[in-house]
Amino acid sequence: MNKKEIKNAITREVCAYVKSLGYEIEDDGFHGSLTFQKKEDGIDESIEWNRTYQEAVCYNWASRKTQIDCISIDAHMKPIIEHYNNQYTPKRATA
């Protein structure tokens, strides 16, 4: 797999997981991150997934439940990210 395929696979995995937690997914398409938010919660209870750093973050003042979900997402994704990154096969230079 190349880097783009790996990033796309990881994004699909995180989206599937957060949907199972009851979050809706917003992608503004500009800054390389996804926002996860439950329908009944405000923006302060949202979680952001950074595609480049492959980590979830939330506001310091978010509820304990949101903070636990954020930690849960990172914990769930860590072995998945390692699995996909181990499949990276860089192209060899041809002479």
Q: Quick check: 95 pLDDT over 70?
A: no
Condensed to tens digits (0 to 9), the pLDDT of residues 49-68 reads 998 899 999 999 999 999 99
Q: What is the mean pLDDT of residues 74-89?
A: 93
Condensed to tens digits (0 to 9), the pLDDT of residues 1-13 reads 888 899 999 999 9
Three-state secondary structure of the chain: CCHHHHHHHHHHHHHHHHHHCCCEEECCCCCCEEEEECCCCCHHHCEEEECCCCEEEECCCCCHHHHHHHHHHHHHHHHHHHHHHCCCCCCCCCC
